[in-house]
Structures are given as structure tokens and as C-alpha cells.
Amino acid sequence: MDESPPILALPNLDGATLLYVGGRPHQLAQLRRLAEQWCASFVHHDGGIDDRNGLLESHVAAADLVLFPVDCVNHNAVAVIKRVSRKVEKRFVVLRSSGLTSFVSALRTWAAQQRPSGTNDEATNTAARLSSSGRHYAANA
């Protein structure tokens, strides 16, 4: 039986592929479960500790959204993410921390940005106000 608390107002990420780079290993199962509850695929790369950096480049190119926490990621991995994201015009999200709250906030914001304009949903409107413009944004949760 799953004892994790239910997440209210789950956005549907419509099969998007999320790449999470770095982070804390003990949280990966929770992050994966959240992504799957929101109808997304979750791919993790450890940032070059055990996973090859060449694999990171292909993961970035294949992902719909790349997320990484600034408090737990390899600096070389960040450089790869930024370089490849610019090259293939992918969005990346700099998470303030490796905590679940930052991850959830970023996904809510991204989901709100994916919806057609004119959607009148309080969670969507709140998330849209939190986002910033540009190729990337920082999740400030």
C-alpha cells in the first residue's frame, strides 16, 4: 500500500519526458512516482558519477524538459545541459534545491505554460505568475 500523501490538482503532462540530473538518490523514487502520476516519463542521470557524460547529451536532446537542483549536481553536467539545451533549443529548469517542493513547483509552472492561453484554472494561473520568461527559469519553491 502506498502511504505517500495524495497530491491535489495534478496537472497532466501528456506523456512528456522529464530528465532530472543530479539530485539525492533517496528521493528519486518519489520524483519518479510524481512524474508518472502526472502522466510523464521520468529519466534520471546522476550527472557523471556513474552515468557517462555522453549519455547525458543524448538524454538532454531527447527530453521535453530538463531539471536539475543547484544544491546537488556536478558543475560539468550543468555545462553540458546548458550547451546542449541551447543547441537543440530545449528548456531547462534550475531548481533551488533537490527537495520535492522545488520539483513539484517547477512541474506545475511548466504544465501551466503548456496549456493554451485562456485556461481559467487557479492552479494554472498561479503557476504562470511564478514563471519567468526566457529559455530557462528557476523554481523558487
What CATH number does residue 132 fall under?
3.40.50
Query: pLDDT per residue over 20-43, tens digit each?
Result: 999 999 999 999 999 999 999 999
**Of 39, 106, 36, which is closest to residue 68 (Cα–Cα)?**
106
Answer whether residue 131 is part of any domain.
yes
Cell 531527447, residue?
62
Structural domain including 55 reads 17-139
Answer whether residue 72 is part of any domain.
yes
Answer whether residue 10 is part of any domain.
no
Answer whether residue 7 is part of any domain.
no
What grid cell was written down for 25?
538518490
Say how far residue 141 (Cα) sits from the centre of its chain: 13
pLDDT at residue 42, rounded to an integer? 97
Query: pLDDT per residue over 75-125, tens digit each?
Result: 999 999 999 999 999 899 999 999 999 999 999 999 888 866 544 444 443
Domains contained in the chain, number: 1
Answer whether residue 115 is part of any domain.
yes
Mean pLDDT across 119-134: 39
Query: Taking the complete model, does pTM exceed 0.75, yes or no?
Result: yes
